[in-house]
Amino acid sequence: MDTRHNTAHAAAWREHEKRAHSSSGIHHHHSHAPASQHGEGHHLLQVENLSIGFNRYEPQAGLMARKSRVDVIHALNIAVHRGELLALVGASGAGKTLLANTLLGRFEPNACVEGCIWFDGQLQSQKTLAQLRGRCISLVPQSVLALDPLMKVGRQLAGGGRRAGVRGRDSRARTEKQCSLFEHYGLGEAVAGLYPFELSGGMARRVLLCTALMDDPELIIADEPTPGLDLELAVRATGDLRAFVDRGGSVLLITHDIELALRVADRVAVFQGGTVIEETAVENFASPATLRQPFTRALWHALPEHDFAVMPGEQGPALPDEAPEYRNARDRATHAEPAPVLPVDDEEG
Amino acid sequence: MASFLLRNILKFLLLLLATSVLVFVLVSISPLDPVQMNVDQAAYLTMSPEKKAQLAEYWGTNTPLWERYAHWFGDFLRGDLGTSLRFNAPVADVIALRFFNSLALMIVAWILSGVLGFALGIGAAVKRGGFVDRIIKGYCLILAATPAFWLGLVLLIIFSVTLGWFPVGFSVPIGVSSADLTPFDSLRHLILPAATLSVVGVANIALHTREKALDTRESEFFQFAEARGLSTWQAMRQHGLRNLLLPALTLQFAQVAELFGGSVLVEQVFSYPGLGSAAVTAGLGGDAALLAAIALISAALVFLGNLIANILYGVIDPRLRRGRHARAKKDRAGAEDAPS
């Protein structure tokens, strides 16, 4: 994390806070949804100009290889307000999980991370982000594989977390908390005594959510929490996240499913080519006229309930991480050749 | 449960049968002439042909292999392990004496190398890439490349010859009657051979544990534990160790076989009268009955070790323990549902 700009940023921030936020116009590269609140005059989470790159040797250069830097994420801006559910929509393998890990202070060892991350008005470093995880920011992982296969889920929830190794009253309090959370989410007492492999899909999702709620987070980052579910089931499965938001929490939902995002989120950030190209309220997806970027408009047209078609003039730059989901939808509609992809890193092509 | 027992007993018997046959075949095709090997070189040269023939008769060199084996096998079934031709005593007596020497040596080495190796491996994995990791890794790689007998010689030179802290060999002091023998004496004689065996075993276990622990660190549940705010040490304590216990157990019980091999060399170096040195003597001297008995004991030990590991798997891993119950329940439910 580049902290040299700390003072400059603080000044810019004070200047910024003088402006009114009520307008739905664009500031900080995004527009607002009705639910978006600036508690205490700032975003809960704000990422500014974030770049994450890896140094690597040129694959084909042989012995004379020089190190070169590959940016997976560049100049990314994103902001999560209090009391809103922001969906980050992007293709698989585009670096969404990398972003989630970075927000949790879990930088890859060989990554260079530049830019600013603010949480609750404080500029963060890798160290402070690491302190926030399991306290203010919690992760809801993708699957039950994230749980220790050899530990009963009840003990795992009560014993783990930030206050690991607590004894006596604290440990009892955590066990009570785990019980009440399980009760609230309709998980019977017996569930606490099950091992992860014994959970059904639905149970597992609620247990994973409970692991995050154990630590009373202000922000939940949910990384693809509904793998393999069809749209209706996925919308229902994200109902608990929605309820958390309605109680005043904030959620960053990471998904590759634009339809799911439009159904459950307040705002959608479209992640493409390693950056967020448009961050806007779900309402703005009602018509292509309110969308600013050509790619987002193309996305709108590609949706099944719209034209389900490619708009050749409005495709935007074809980038390597374009999701097969979108491309297939367009291909089915037009019988056209798949969009050309750049030769770099084309895992999909 | 009954079928599990039956299957393992059957396996065990087959293993013993195969081992004993193999020993007899190997001894019979050994190029060493037992008569020549078991008498003094000078005595052999001056020996009369009649005497040689008599000795050849004693060692059974002219009896066909199958006859010798059948004879031994018949005795074995009656619980008689035969007579050691080399020691001129019942095999059971020869082994009983040496078994406890070896057992003490191997148990000490087994526990020391297991505990130390596991701890070092975990420590290296948690501090991956750091100073501690490099020290541990370097130490283990050097030791892994060190032959046990050579290390034994070095330890002997340093601690017995130069420093004089420990005796040079044997399991009891020379010239002390067994009545005057104290446990302290036995311990003093045990330390160097046990240390040699352990130190070599540590390297193997530590390197394997380190690899496994690194895999565990990469696993999703470990990463999530860290994402929940646990430090690497905390995550290792809470979630890593119990998941590493299974591979560690497998390794630890597989180590029994390694230890047996190692103890043969180490006992030779330290002139320590254990099973290992008896095996060498029996093998070189063509003493099939003694060699077969030692081979059977080691095969039984290794088999027992693996069996214990298998049973512990079921105790530790809920997926095996509960999964089996769940499957059985499902099967029963399925059987009831199915139309008869």
Least Cα separation, residue A156 to chain B (angstroms): 9
Cβ contacts of B174 within 8 Å, gap of 6 or more: none
**B145 shares its domain with B71:** no
Say what the pLDDT of residue B134 is: 93
Q: Is B234 on the interface with A (CB under 8 A)?
A: yes
- Cβ of A146 within 8 Å of Cβ of B239? The answer is no
**B163 shares its domain with B243:** yes
Least Cα separation, residue A223 to chain B (angstroms): 12
B242 is in which domain, residue-wise? 98-333
For chain B positions 243-282, those within 8 Å of chain A (CB to CB) are 243
Tell me how crowded residue A13 is: count the other CB atoms within 10 A of its CB.
17
Q: Is B218 on the interface with A (CB under 8 A)?
A: no
CA distances from A27 to A34, A279, A280, B22, B320 (A): 15, 11, 11, 83, 56
**B24 shares its domain with B123:** no
**B181 shares its domain with B242:** yes
For chain B positions 292-321, those within 8 Å of chain A (CB to CB) are 316-319
Say what the pLDDT of residue A253 is: 92
Give the mutation candidate from B133, B215, B221, B244 for the A interface (greatest A CB count, under 10 A): B221
Is B270 inside any structural domain?
A: yes
State the pairing for strand pair A250-255/A219-223.
parallel
Least Cα separation, residue A73 to chain B (angstroms): 21
Tell me how crowded residue A107 is: count the other CB atoms within 10 A of its CB.
17
- In whole angstroms, what is the distance from residue A301 CA to residue A125 CA? 40
Q: What is the pLDDT of residues A204-236, one digit of tens each?
A: 888 888 888 888 888 999 988 887 778 888 888
Say what the pLDDT of residue A221 is: 92
**B326 shares its domain with B266:** yes
- ∠ CA B68-B69-B73, nearest 5°, is 120
Least Cα separation, residue A291 to chain B (angstroms): 35
Domain endpoint, select from B60, B84, B108: B84
Residue among B37, B48, B38, B106 at smallest CA distance from B260 = B106
- In whole angstroms, what is the distance from residue B42 CA to residue B291 CA? 26
Domain definitions of chain A by residue range: 145-216, 287-349
**B268 shares its domain with B138:** yes
Torsions phi, psi for A46 (to 5 deg):
-135, 130
Q: What is the pLDDT of residues A18-45, one digit of tens each?
A: 554 444 455 666 777 776 767 666 788 8
Residues of B with CB below 8 A from A197's CB? Answer: 318-319, 323
pLDDT at residue A1 greater than cutoff 50:
no
Q: Which segment, A241-245, A306-310, A313-317, B308-312, is predicted with the most confidence on average?
A: A241-245
- For position B237, which CATH number holds? 1.10.3720.10
Residue among A77, A125, A121 at smallest CA distance from A99 = A77
Least Cα separation, residue B238 to chain A (angstroms): 8
Count of domains for chain B:
2
**B78 shares its domain with B115:** no
Residue among B214, B262, B205 at smallest CA distance from B236 = B214
- Cβ of A149 within 8 Å of Cβ of B223? The answer is no
Domain endpoint, select from B50, B84, B118: B84
**B61 shares its domain with B107:** no
Residues of B with CB below 8 A from A134's CB? Answer: 227-230
**B130 shares its domain with B70:** no
**B128 shares its domain with B245:** yes
Q: What is the pLDDT of residues A282-301, one digit of tens each?
A: 888 777 777 777 778 777 77
ipTM topping 0.90: no
Over its length of 340 residues, how does chain B's per-residue pLDDT go in tens digits? 678 888 888 999 999 889 888 888 887 777 777 666 666 666 666 777 777 777 777 666 667 777 778 877 877 777 777 777 777 778 788 888 788 878 888 888 889 989 999 999 999 999 988 899 999 999 999 988 888 888 888 888 888 778 877 777 766 666 666 666 677 777 777 788 888 888 888 888 899 999 999 999 888 888 888 888 888 888 888 888 888 888 888 888 888 878 877 888 888 888 778 888 788 888 787 777 888 888 888 888 888 888 888 888 878 788 777 766 555 554 554 444 444 3
**B218 shares its domain with B279:** yes
Q: Is B224 on the interface with A (CB under 8 A)?
A: yes
Q: Using CB atoms, which residue from B223, B228, B319 is nearest to A149?
A: B319
- In whole angstroms, what is the distance from residue A108 CA to residue B131 CA? 20
B41: left (phi over 0), alpha (psi -120 to 50) or beta: alpha
Is B340 inside any structural domain?
A: no
**B69 shares its domain with B104:** no
- In whole angstroms, what is the distance from residue B236 CA to residue B34 CA? 57
Domain endpoint, select from B84, B113, B131: B84
Q: pLDDT-based confidence at A347, cuts 50/70/90?
A: very low
